[in-house]
Amino acid sequence: MGDEMIISNKQVVLKNYVTGFPQESDMEIITSSINLSVPEATKDALLVKNLYLSCDPYMRGCMTNLVGPSIVSSFQPGKPLTGFGVMKVADSTHPNYNKGDLAWGFTKWEEHSLIVSPQLLFKIQHTDLPLSYYTGILGVAGITAYAGFYEVCSPKKGEYVYVSAACGAIGQIVGQLAKLMGCHVVGSAGSNQKVDLLKDKLGFDEAFNYKEEQDLDAALKRYFPQGIDIYFDSVGGKMLDAVLLNMRIRGRIAACGMISQYNLDKPEGVHNLMSIIGKRVRVEGFVTGDFYHLYPKFLELVVPYIRQNKIIYVEDVGEGLESGPISLIGLFTGRNIGKQLVIVARE
């Protein structure tokens, strides 16, 4: 460590803050350079090679010049995007990490990164599972699904569970956890191919293409004639409004995300909140960061399920850092089928 070894370092940078729908052209690929060693004076740091990068809807918020308190930070125009990823240690001044170790956590959208707070990373222990899973089911998406479903929704066997964006990084896990718990699970997604995937591969009891439904309320009444106990919401807007009309008494709505609203100047109005009173419905927002302490417990549950094929995880993989921009904006058109990630390097 401390040796000078400067190499070129491709990056995905934000060109300008975005309003409305993000475009591929809001980002660009540039080539910078980086020293492959941690500078000698920098204690407890890592120089990592980024292998897999996660594309997440929350990143849309980071493309905005956020003012005031927020749980996410704005990207800096001209600087690489930041996000979750899987990385391999190339150099370390941190006692817990050696060259060759694998980790996942917060990094930058570039080939190599200097990580000055490795205490925020998770060291990867189960290397027999696909490493890319640590951008999804074994990473933030997994903890989100687990905490949102078990901690926020307080599910019981036999309950009626509805998952929107059900083919997405988180939805597919929630649906499968709910099935394993003995719930009746219906998912919605934005294409017939995704609907087939939900029913044929991911074990959902039913699924529907929301884009083909004129009347979301009617669609929900068809799939939930008895009503919905649990709604895991990653969508918000019109879907949430329709769900509110179909909740059962003491139903729970976990507000995980509202992707339908992220590109709007003004969020849509939700008109049916009155129904939460008579139905005693609880609507609760949550943030994954509050539940990292459950990660070991989650792994104990989910790793065997994955090994036994009791939980399947569908990924949509962009090849190369260059595919980053199109992969990221595809989240907002529903282009991805399954968890969207980008492969920067395979090892």
Positions in the binding site for a second copy (CB under 8 A) = 70-72, 236, 240, 255-258, 261, 266-287, 290
Six token digits for residue 193: 């191919």
Taking the least distance from each CB to a second copy, the nearer of 199 and 279 is: 279
| Minimum CB–partner distance for residue 274 and a second copy (Å) | 5
Which helix (H) or strand (E) segment is 114 a member of? strand 112-115
Taking the least distance from each CB to a second copy, the nearer of 205 and 268 is: 268
Could you give the angle at the alpha carbon of 133 between the alpha carbons of 76 and 31, nearest 5°? 35
Taking the least distance from each CB to a second copy, the nearer of 5 and 71 is: 71
Query: 42 burial class (0-12, 13-18, 19+ CB within 10 angstroms)?
Result: middle
Torsion of CA 149, 153, 157, 160, to 10 degrees: -100
Buried b (16+ CB within 10 A) or exposed e, 293-309: ebbeebbeebbebbeee
Taking the least distance from each CB to a second copy, the nearer of 219 and 240 is: 240
| Minimum CB–partner distance for residue 148 and a second copy (Å) | 11
Closest of 19, 55, 139, 41 to residue 334, by C-alpha:
55
Taking the least distance from each CB to a second copy, the nearer of 7 and 264 is: 264
Taking the least distance from each CB to a second copy, the nearer of 32 and 272 is: 272
Taking the least distance from each CB to a second copy, the nearer of 200 and 284 is: 284
| Minimum CB–partner distance for residue 153 and a second copy (Å) | 13
Tell me how far apart the alpha carbons of residues 329 and 266 are, in angstroms, rounded to a whole number. 20
Taking the least distance from each CB to a second copy, the nearer of 89 and 255 is: 255
Q: Which residues contact 313 (CB under 8 A, 6 or more apart)?
A: 133, 136, 137, 172, 173, 306, 338, 339
| Minimum CB–partner distance for residue 134 and a second copy (Å) | 24
Tell me how far apart the alpha carbons of residues 297 and 191 are, in angstroms, rounded to a whole number. 34
| Minimum CB–partner distance for residue 220 and a second copy (Å) | 14
Buried b (16+ CB within 10 A) or exposed e, 199-220: beebbbbbbbbbeebeebbebb
| Minimum CB–partner distance for residue 152 and a second copy (Å) | 9
Cβ atoms within 10 Å of 194's Cβ, excluding its own? 26
Tell me how far apart the alpha carbons of residues 239 and 73 are, in angstroms, rounded to a whole number. 28
Which residue carries 């790793």 as its tokens? 303
